[in-house]
Amino acid sequence: MSNTEKFLEVNRNQDSVPNTKITKQHNFRARGFAVIYRSMFIVSLLSGIVIWAALSVLLPKDVASPVSVSQALGTLMTNGTLPIDIAYSVVRVAVGFTVGLVLAIPVAFALNAVRGLRNLLDPWIQFFRVIPPIALIPLVIVFFGIGETAKVSVIFFAVFLTVLITTYQGIRMIDATLIRAARVLGTSGWRLFAKVIVPAAVPSIFTGARLGIASGWTTLVAAELIAASHGLGFMITQASQYFDLPAIYLGIITIGVIGFIFDRLLLRVERRMISWADVG
Amino acid sequence: MGSVDRQLLEPTKIEISDLVVKYETPGNGDTQAALSKTTLNVRDGEFVAIVGPSGCGKTTLLNCVAGLVRASSGFVRVDGKIVGGPGRDRGVVFQQYALFPWLSVIENVIFSLEMRGVPRTERANEARRYLDLVGLSGVEDVMPKALSGGMKQRVAIARAYAAEPSVLLMDEPFGALDVQAKERLQVALLRALQLNPRTVLFVTHDVEEAIFLSDRVVIMGANPGRIVSETPVELQKDRVVEDKLSEEFIALKSQISQELRVIETGKYESEAVRKNNVISQVKKMELN
């Protein structure tokens, strides 16, 4: 073995294997933090309930107590109205969200690929972006009445625009060096699209989806407040007509909890699918 | 074999002829030359390093050979074919590694094999061969974000090699690494080239690196970007890190560093002269 070869052998072994010690330590620390974070979540939840209880004692006319809200929960669960309202709301959002997402993604790619299309559509996207979807509800009622189509189309509108804008901007921000690296390896056309642009865009599609479902959910509840015969928004409107304070609080809390669950579910899918990216 | 004989024997691999690259300055529509008439020939199997101050167009020159930047006039030929765009015959290693973050180490190399049309069943074994070439084993399934900079760049070199390019173009590949990793990578690159020789065009701002790796150092100057001079490196082929301490090496390093210093200060001096002229004119006006 020549001197050079010996040197190369030594050199080869130096940084060819990842430093397992550091990796393990890092995992250990990460796990430690995870435990703290999880317990923080419970602490935060409990203190929220304590503050709520205290407020209900201080302002009994305006704030329903946790106990009365639990009672309302029990009643509405047993007579079946709450599960039905939840089901109506969730199904509406699911349909509007799915259609909005499925249509927004290809449009976002097309806008990036075709400059003419971008110039053609950009003013309209910017225009509709500043209109809160709720403002369209009266118009939607004129078009579709107060049936399911009306609610679903408002959600679709909200989700579509949010996902489109987020994904479109995400695709635009794809690291140009990655595309150059692929091109010098002989990648072009649809292969460049399928093997580089699409995977590189996945994180921004997820960001778009999470923002989209939040926007769809808020819009839905607003739509149900105005025109519906079922759903969580309707439940709150009805409760307010009878001045059933615990039911109003229950409706609001349910909306928040379900929105939170939606977001966590998407985050979980995101973490699983794109573990390579730094997902927050 | 002396370098003169080699020059006669080896055919030209990369031919850069009267290459000019102009950029349009945004806003006023003026054109600025990033590279003024540049001619450079690289022989088959030769390692040419390009050094120069920032803004001298060394990266532009490399990108032109890669087909990533279009020539305003003149041409680049690789293996006799005019460069019209990026292609698999010219492998590029970027400073920012540019690994596909959604693919594991081995998948990054397989990407390259797939583009070359290597049959599916042979890809994994082939990929391991290329990773071995750059001294990487046992990290096949690791994702790029878990790798150190040095290891990322090894993967990038393996990926470039896997395309079996005719030339390797390297744009400050070790510029972002710490001193130790940089030295290890330099040795790893020399080893890979010994096992699997390629013609290399290597851009760097590190004079020592340029000398250590190359057969010839080309020095470029800025405003406008141009080749100022070139120096053959007549060190033994089989290089080790210790060579950096040899008399020959140090002499060559100080010679090239001196040339670079002249290019840099030349720029400042001409600015200083202009300023002095302005001052003396102002003084004259005051006297009048």
B109-133 tens-digit pLDDT: 999 999 999 999 999 999 999 999 9
Range of the domain at B69: 3-89+165-287
pLDDT at res. A136: 85
Tally of domains in chain A = 2
Please indicate, yes or no, if residue B133 is contained in any of the structural domains: no
pLDDT at residue number A148: 85
Whether residue B143 lies inside any domain: the answer is no
Residue A1 lies in a domain: no
Q: Is B165 exposed, middle or buried, given 0-12, 13-18 or 19+ CB atoms closer than 10 A?
A: buried
Does residue A213 belong to any structural domain of this protein?
Answer: yes
Same domain, A70 and A34: no
Distance to chain A for B61, nearest Cα, Å:
16
Q: Which of A17, A180, A184 to mutate to test the interface with B (most CBs of B within 10 A)?
A: A184
Could you give the 3-state DSSP secondary structure of residue A220?
helix
What distance in Å separates the CA atoms of residue B205 and residue A152, rounded to the nearest whole number?
60
Tens-place pLDDT, residues A170-185: 998 899 999 999 999 9
A121 and A204, same domain (yes or no): yes
Structural domain includes residue B97:
no
Per-residue pLDDT tens over the stretch B186-219:
999 999 999 999 999 999 999 999 999 999 999 9
CATH number assigned to the domain comprising residue A154: 1.10.3720.10
- ipTM computed for the complex: 0.83
Residue of B nearest to A16 (CA): B136
Print the domain residue range for A50.
Answer: 17-55
Among B67, B86, B136, whose Cβ lies nearest the Cβ of A16?
A: B136
**Cα of B274 to nearest chain A Cα, Å:** 40
Number of domain units in chain B: 1
Q: Do A174 and A114 lie in a common domain?
A: yes
Handedness of CA A192, A193, A199, A204 (dihedral sign): positive
- The residue in chain A having the minimum alpha-carbon distance to the alpha carbon of residue B181 is A15
Using alpha carbons, list the distances in angstroms from residue A238 to A76, A229, B61, B150, B157: 13, 9, 72, 65, 67
pLDDT at A250 over 50: yes
Confidence of residue B23 (pLDDT cuts 50, 70, 90): confident
Same domain, A93 and A210: yes
Residues A128 and A182 in one domain: yes
**pLDDT band at B269; cut points 50, 70, 90:** low
Closest residue in B to A176 (Cα) is B98
How far from each other are the two terminal CA atoms of chain A, in whole angstroms? 50
Of A9, A28, A55, the one marking the end of a domain is: A55
> Using CB atoms, which residue from A16, A277, A278 is nearest to B138?
A16
Same domain, A206 and A113: yes
Contact between chains at B98 and A196 (C-beta distance less than 8 A): no
* Amino acid at site B114: E
Residues A173 and A143 in one domain: yes
Q: Please tell me the predicted confidence (pLDDT) of residue A11.
A: 41
Q: Considering the domain boundaries, does residue B67 fall inside one?
A: yes
Determine the pLDDT at residue B276. 66
pLDDT category, A13, cuts 50, 70, 90? Answer: very low
Q: Do A125 and A34 sit in the same domain of this protein?
A: no
What CATH number is attached to the domain comprising B176?
Answer: 3.40.50.300
Residues A74 and A42 in one domain: no
Q: Which of B88, B163, B184 is closest, CB to CB, to A14?
A: B184
Residue of chain A minimizing CA distance to B105: A276
pLDDT above 80 for A234: yes
Evaluate whether residue A253 is within a structural domain.
Answer: yes
The 10 Å CB-count burial string (b at 16+, else e) for B33-55 is bbbbebebebbbebbbbbbbbeb
The verdict on residue A4 lying in a domain is no
Q: Are residues A48 and A110 in the same domain?
A: no
